[in-house]
Amino acid sequence: MLIANLCRDRDLSSSMASRRVPKVTSKEGASQCKEKHAVLLSPVGKLEISGCETGLHEIKLPKMSVLPNGAEASAGCEVCEGAEGMTEPLKQCTAWLHAYFCEPARTEQLPVPPFHHPLLQQDSFTKQVLWTLLRDVKFGEAISYQKLADLAGNSRAARAVGGAMRSNPIPIIIPCHRVIRSSGQTGNYGGGNLMKEWLLSHEKLQKEKLAY
């Protein structure tokens, strides 16, 4: 597997300024990392997370065909498969996602799990875009592809920003759902447009509750 094969070189990136952000790490001189998997039952369906002792590899989203009803929307986010033997990064990911769905205010206090995916180890515009998104676009906010390109240092790369969003291996934590079209339309999303709309609505509602 590509991720497992690339779990070798050790490289710690510095923390981003002004908010808790994860490290991007890799192992040096070690054998291939042992990837672990877990499945979380969330309001938007089953989320499959994978990672090793070094960091989080991926969050895989289900495809939403219908919006969750009231009871489903208020459900928590709990591990339903793979709870035994979870690595520390997977535990941190689980805690963060639980807070995101159930207690959003806590996400700013919780550590974001370290990332260990080759896309986030390469020096590329995609990596720059994803880090910028994670650092600068907060819960309950939205940003256009064009504006994100500006923030990432290339105002002419709005189309490349769209490609970066499609490549994002860690959705929700790296919030590509907050990137929308300049017209205000939500645009495409890996989990489907319904999920993107639900996540944006969830954040808007929770932000309004926190304001009172």
Q: Can you tell me the mean pLDDT for 16-37?
A: 58
- pLDDT at residue 7 is higher than 70: no
Helices (H), the chain: 2-5, 70-73, 88-102, 125-136, 145-151, 158-167, 193-211
| Catalytic residue, candidates 7, 77, 93, 176 | 176
- pLDDT at residue 201 is higher than 50: yes
- pLDDT at residue 8 is higher than 50: no
Per-chain mean pLDDT for the chain: 85
CA–chain centroid gap for 41, Å, is 16
Per-residue model confidence as pLDDT tens digits over 97-126: 999 999 998 998 999 999 999 999 888 999
- pLDDT at residue 144 is higher than 70: yes
Q: Can you tell me the mean pLDDT for 185-203?
A: 93
The whole-angstrom separation of Cα 93 and Cα 42 is 13
The whole-angstrom separation of Cα 162 and Cα 74 is 31
Per-residue model confidence as pLDDT tens digits over 85-103: 899 999 999 999 999 999 9
Buried b (16+ CB within 10 A) or exposed e, 171-182: bbbbbbbbbbee
3-state class of 45 per DSSP?
strand
- pLDDT at residue 17 is higher than 50: no
- pLDDT at residue 27 is higher than 70: no
Helices (H), 24-104: 70-73, 88-102
Q: Is 33 a catalytic residue?
A: no
Q: pLDDT grade, residue 68 (50/70/90)?
A: low
Q: Is the pTM for the entire model greater than 0.85? A: no
